[in-house]
Structure 1
Amino acid sequence: MKTSDNLPEKTQKAGAKTSDIGILGGTFDPIHLGHINPAKELLRWLGLKELVLMPAAIPPHKAGTSASARQRADMVKLVCGQEKVFHCDERELKRAATSYTLATLLEIKKEHPHQRIFFIIGMDSLFTFTRWHKWQEILTLCHLVVNTRPGYETADMPADTRQLLARHQVTDVGALKQSMAGHIILAPESRWDISSTGIRQQLKSGEDCRHLLPAPVLTYIRQHNLYR
């Protein structure tokens, strides 16, 4: 199945009930093994057949990106070409205005009203989730799956995040599939603790990043002289 500007082809058929939709959004500046390997682990854990990678255009909580939107999407598509379980959705890159998660989920839910959406975020995003634009409405459209990693301990959670989990957390994947939306689950901790910020710094310093990036992405970065 080829990558497309939106969701995978088999989820686009009107009225078709297919598998649940998993979405991993991010700036992907650049996309790296710290995104890819935990995503594949989550696919198996959630029982999903595929995952949508959604490059963000102008994230409200970030000042900007180093690579352009087109370059970041190109790098994601290179990964999708290697890993057939991934598909690229570019809808957020086509928005002229600030990109809000709620707007994206409303679009997807309108297109696929009968499919369950698993929206994957990092633990850092969970810590700030109650400051997201209309976060309560987000939870009416999807389940949140939280990618846990070292450095973000539950003991350090803000009080409002603790209250959020008290109301919405489940501990079993099966419980997610009993309803269409509204739950939060913490995924098993990933051993892939890699950051795009760290990779950009290493690339700028001329360090070897072959163990952190897929080969086609590293080649693309070199060809376009990114992160120098």
Structure 2
Amino acid sequence: MKTSDSRHKGIHKTSDIGILGGTFDPIHLGHLNPAKALLNWLGLDQLVLMPAAIPPHKAGTSASAQQRVQMVKLACEQEKVFHCDERELKRQTTSYTLDTLLEIKKEHPHQRIFFVIGMDSLFSFTKWHKWQQILTLCHLVVNSRPGYELADMPTETQQLLAGHQVSDVSELKKSLAGNIILAPESRWDISSSQIRQQLQSNQDCQHLLPSPVLAYIRQHNLYR
């Protein structure tokens, strides 16, 4: 029988924690390879992959929540530096990032949390639920995304960066929370929607997906 702590199994008790959330519909190498590069750059030895409940601003997913979780777990079995955390999908109420971070901070009060977001999320961060409190719990690590140029940044985001941005990882680690850093640009420009389209039209995606994830997709006839 699984204990109530099974969802947190694998999170180390002594090292800093990196968290990457996403709908992961499906999870692919455009998530995983940049994540491994981030681990090295931040000096972390683990990254928590957190399948998200569907945000209000997004349409529904193609795969079910359980299927998305299973694909993340299969990817984690391939790469031991990744761990799957299902807590956001287990909530019966609206799942806010703040609630997730409060839970993790309570479980790991002395560890830094590096919360990884995309540039698109940074542009809207000042509209997030209680965003000021989020910054008291973690550092934000921002992945660049095509189509989001710093020159187009909203005024509120410019002001946010003026107060919180640091330029190198050593500066980031001088405090437990409150900083924002822009990660080096990834060469992996792949989206889940692109992969879903290719799968739907029977194009070869084995170079874009971990092999167990592709096998699972085929077994369950997803994205057809």
TM-score where L is the length of structure 2: 0.95
Range with bigger deviation, 116-125 or 156-165: 156-165
Q: CA deviation at 1:59?
A: 2.2
Task: Name the structure 1 match of 2:179.
Answer: 183
Whether the aligned pair in 1 keeps the contact of 2:11 and 2:48 (CA below 8 Å) is no
Task: Name the structure 2 match of 1:14.
Answer: none
Question: Match for 2:115 among 81, 98, 119?
Answer: 119
Task: Name the structure 1 match of 2:77.
Answer: 81
Task: Name the structure 1 match of 2:204.
Answer: 208
Question: Match for 1:49 among 30, 41, 45?
Answer: 45
| Distance in structure 1 (CA, Å) of the matches to 2:198 and 2:12 | 39
Task: Name the structure 1 match of 2:3.
Answer: none
Task: Name the structure 2 match of 1:5.
Answer: 7
Name the SS for the 1:63 alignment partner: coil
Name the SS for the 2:175 alignment partner: coil
Whether the aligned pair in 1 keeps the contact of 2:50 and 2:86 (CA below 8 Å) is yes
| Distance in structure 2 (CA, Å) of the matches to 1:65 and 1:7 | 26
Identity %: 80
Q: Which runs of 5+ in 2 are unaligned?
A: 1-5
| Distance in structure 2 (CA, Å) of the matches to 1:60 and 1:167 | 29
Whether the aligned pair in 1 keeps the contact of 2:141 and 2:183 (CA below 8 Å) is yes
Name the SS for the 1:5 alignment partner: helix
Q: Deviations over 1:147-190 (max 9, x none)?
A: 11332211111111111111110001001111010000000000
Letter in 2 for 1:51: L
Task: Name the structure 2 match of 1:195.
Answer: 191
| Distance in structure 1 (CA, Å) of the matches to 2:147 and 2:9 | 33
Q: Deviations over 1:94-128 (max 9, x none)?
A: 11122110000000011111110000001111111
Q: Which runs of 5+ in 1 are unaligned?
A: 12-17
Name the SS for the 2:199 alignment partner: helix
Superposition misfits of 4+ residues, deviation over 6 angstroms = none
Label 1:152 to 1:9 Cα distance change in 2 as closer, same or farther (>3 A): closer
| Distance in structure 1 (CA, Å) of the matches to 2:174 and 2:9 | 24
| Distance in structure 2 (CA, Å) of the matches to 1:78 and 1:179 | 34
Q: CA deviation at 1:63?
A: 2.5
Question: Match for 1:129 among 125, 129, 133?
Answer: 125
Does residue 1:219 correspond to 2:215, yes or no? yes
| Distance in structure 2 (CA, Å) of the matches to 1:205 and 1:218 | 15
Task: Name the structure 2 match of 1:172.
Answer: 168
TM-score where L is the length of structure 1: 0.93
Name the SS for the 1:70 alignment partner: helix
Task: Name the structure 2 match of 1:30.
Answer: 26
Name the SS for the 2:137 alignment partner: coil
Name the SS for the 2:19 alignment partner: strand
For these two proteins, the number of residue pairs brought into alignment is: 219
